Amino acid sequence: MRAIPSYLRVTGRGNVETLADETQLLPAKQLCSTCEVGLAGVKADSFYFEEFAIGTLPEIRLRSEHCPFCRLICSAICDGPRISEDGLPEGIITVENYYGQRGFVATGTKLGTLVARVGANGEGIVDKEKRGRIVTRAEIDPMLIRKWVRACEEHHDKDCQPKPRTMSERGGVSSFSTTCGNLRFIDVHDQCIVDAPAHYRYLALSYVWGLVPTVRLRKDNISQLMKPSGLATIHGNIPLTIRDAMELVSMLGERYLWVDSLCLIEDDEDDMRKGIQTMDLVYEGSYLTIVAASGAHANAGLPGVQRGSRIAGQCVEEVKPGVKMVVLRELDDYLLTSKYSTRGWTFQELILSHRSLIFVNDQIYFRCHQCTWSEQSSDDEFPTVWNKSTGSLLTFVFDSDFSPAHAYQVFILYYSSRQLTKDSDAIDAVSALLKPLAIRMKSRLLEGLPTSSFDMSILFSPRRGSLRRRSGFPSYSWAGWQGQVAWHMAHYEWPEDEDIPLYEPRGQQLDIRDWLNQKTWIVWYETSGTVGMKPVWDLSMQESFGGFAPMDICYRERRHEHPNGRPTVPTIDISGKRHREYPILQFWTTMVYLSISAENALHHEPADLQQVKILARDDAFCGSMLIDDGSLLTDVSKPLRFLVLSESRYSMANSWIPDRGGRDPGLEDPTACDLYWVMLVDLRDGLYERRGLGQIYQSAVERSYSPGPVWEEIALG
């Protein structure tokens, strides 16, 4: 058989025999002298190994033409997603043993990439250690999938079980079945849509729609599609991914499948609203969620379901007689670089599912709340061994020891980088995740922002590149902006962080709970056309969630009077202003007038963060700010309006303010602050809108341009 090119994966296409021949029968080559010495203790019946230097990447590439272990190391470093020449390692590469006999890792590989030993006959060796498996099927194996689900059912705790939760957890009283009165399934046996009570076991599909035309459930076709064989009459109009999912459900011996496009009535506003509101119940209640992460649209299908629909590739080498090894990578290396992971709706669908079968990179993976298994490794032989993928976000939402307020910020950080076909879906597409987090935060949500810690909620800023203003949502919410946003979490100690190293010594950071209750002063009100004006938060709201617990990040009390006797209750009637589709914030605070450095303020590359200097009346530097979208600032030659929001102690990352945060090193009080958080605003149609977030020295307030500083009533949209 011809030699396989250096560090290229071995692939097989077509029938089972062809695939098996091209992977298992790859001829062994002679180890180079470096690897011969380094792997001297590796034999068919033993795995003694010590760390050794294998050489530079150019040297390894040169030797990989003949050395099978060098080929494995080249593949581990150079193959896989998100690899570019600029990111390849320089200098000597070291090969290290990975947790006993689990295999090898090399410097320059991504976390989780492993060169693992293949078990006898391609199976795992029963020693509770990771082993590679050679894939010998061109199609997926339903028996293996059933084995994974059964092992999870039998060996994992309740966190992995589907949870048709009651509405009492969300402040209501209805059961899952009552709440999901519009719950429908595809009956793959009778080929029709059926109404289903909650106790039916079902699978759900999570996939990318793309621009593929697709049949939708509508008022004018629902009666036809609910008849036996109704779906068979439109079979050719159903996207391939959905058809493959229906076939897979049948292959697994199951009957019911939930798919959004065929289970929610598109032209029934009430039905769609109920479906979106109960999306968390649908995915958390799913017996298994099929995740179609292999393609960019709904016609990509599920590779491996249909014969000849996938190329199952592996880099397998026989490094010594009887010793085969394979390169294994983390699921998330592939998942996070897929089109699936760029779409907004799929974010919550994957995280909420207690068990998922993930199709990506022509492979299948099983993920639950305790383990990640694949066709290519033997981890599933030891279902009680904890095996969580390094890139999973599951811990953040389900770990009761992790602050839900912190988890909220992590989720929005990742979600806000994703794309939506319709801007109007900005909150709906993540609401199923936000609702359970809001319950744990003991908070309601205002335009996607937790109200029990509202002063913290509004302190988001661009994470990477310029933002774009979204219509239909307020500028004070992340939902009002397209682009990735982040909060400055390292500024504070979080209640769960006692054992986690922080950027500053303990006692040098301000506890987030103390900051919220001691370093903020604004009394927030919201006004909408339907409700009128009401507080964003008050004590009665908190009591409705059961009061306070020591770990809760929320207001403990809120004065409705300013300590200096200044007004705090809004008086402006905004009913005559141009109608907005969202609540308007009304409040009092200090407004200052400052200028910004024109350099890089408007003329910028879209990918660049717009961190600009803030200047006081005497043109002296007094702060730093991240502009949301420079194109919305029409004239930066004049002083601009800044709202003073709260106190701050440490400067933002990449700020023009020195790293010490502007704090006087001589201050004895470790909680003292001498910065303010400020929001740049612009007046549009009678209401202010946010244009950026920054920090200024507190001394800059008195150096404001005229007419500031002034205690002013604000209406912010």
Residue 357 or 351, more confident: 357
Asked if pLDDT for residue 26 goes beyond 50, the answer is no
CA angle 489, 495, 498 (to 5 degrees): 95
Contact 216, 239 (CB under 8 A): no
Cα-flanking dihedrals φ and ψ of residue 712, to 5°? -135, 145
Q: What is the mean pLDDT of the chain?
A: 82
Asked if pLDDT for residue 325 goes beyond 50, the answer is yes
Listed ranges 9-23, 386-400, 475-489; the one with the highest mean pLDDT: 475-489
Nearest to 3 by CA among 59, 71, 80: 71
Residue 74 or 490, more confident: 74
Using CB atoms within 10 A of its CB, is residue 140 exposed (0-12), middle (13-18) or buried (19+)? buried
Q: Give the pLDDT of residue 279.
A: 87
CB atoms within 10 A of CB 703: 18
Distance CA 486, CA 673 (A): 22
What percentage of the chain exceeds 70 in pLDDT?
80
Q: How confident is the model at residue 391 (pLDDT cuts 50, 70, 90)?
A: low
b/e per residue, 609-632, with b = 16+ CB within 10 A?
A: bbbbbbbbbeeeebbbbbbbbbeb
Averaged over 44-61, what is the pLDDT?
86
Partners of 690 in beta bridges: 681
Q: Give the pLDDT of residue 608.
A: 61
User: Beta strand 93-97 with 492-493: parallel, antiparallel or unpaired?
Assistant: unpaired
Q: Give the pLDDT of residue 177.
A: 41
| Segment among 326-335, 421-430, 676-685 with least mean pLDDT | 326-335
Averaged over 660-665, what is the pLDDT?
48
Q: Give the pLDDT of residue 444.
A: 92
Q: How many CA atoms lie within 13 A of 669 on its CB side?
A: 6
| Element holding 96 (H helix, E strand) | strand 93-97
Q: Give the pLDDT of residue 197.
A: 65
Listed ranges 399-403, 473-477, 508-512, 559-563; the one with the highest mean pLDDT: 473-477
Cα-flanking dihedrals φ and ψ of residue 429, to 5°? -70, -10
Q: Give the pLDDT of residue 563.
A: 61
Per-residue pLDDT tens over the stretch 208-240 = 998 888 899 999 999 999 999 999 999 999 999
User: Beta strand 203-206 with 288-292: parallel, antiparallel or unpaired?
Assistant: parallel
Strands (E), 488-620: 492-493, 510-511, 525-528, 532-535, 584-596, 611-615
Q: How confident is the model at residue 175 (pLDDT cuts 50, 70, 90)?
A: very low
Q: How confident is the model at residue 650 (pLDDT cuts 50, 70, 90)?
A: confident
Q: Where are the domains of the chain?
A: 142-311+331-398, 444-716
Averaged over 34-53, what is the pLDDT?
85
Residue 90 or 363, more confident: 363
Asked if pLDDT for residue 120 goes beyond 70, the answer is no
Q: How confident is the model at residue 297 (pLDDT cuts 50, 70, 90)?
A: very high
Asked if pLDDT for residue 248 goes beyond 50, the answer is yes
Asked if pLDDT for residue 19 goes beyond 50, the answer is no
Q: Give the pLDDT of residue 223.
A: 96
Supply the Cα-derived Rg of the chain in whole angstroms: 29
Q: What is the dihedral of CA 654, 658, 662, 665, to 10 degrees?
A: 130
Contact 12, 311 (CB under 8 A): yes
Asked if pLDDT for residue 489 goes beyond 70, the answer is no
Nearest to 442 by CA among 487, 403, 498, 481: 403
Asked if pLDDT for residue 27 goes beyond 60, the answer is no
pTM of the entire predicted model:
0.84
Asked if pLDDT for residue 84 goes beyond 90, the answer is no
Q: How confident is the model at residue 194 (pLDDT cuts 50, 70, 90)?
A: very high
Per-residue pLDDT tens over the stretch 94-105 = 998 765 556 788
Per-residue pLDDT tens over the stretch 250-259 = 999 999 999 9
Which amino acid makes up residue 220?
A: D
Asked if pLDDT for residue 6 goes beyond 50, the answer is no
Averaged over 559-581, what is the pLDDT?
78
Q: Give the pLDDT of residue 53.
A: 94
Q: Give the pLDDT of residue 618.
A: 87
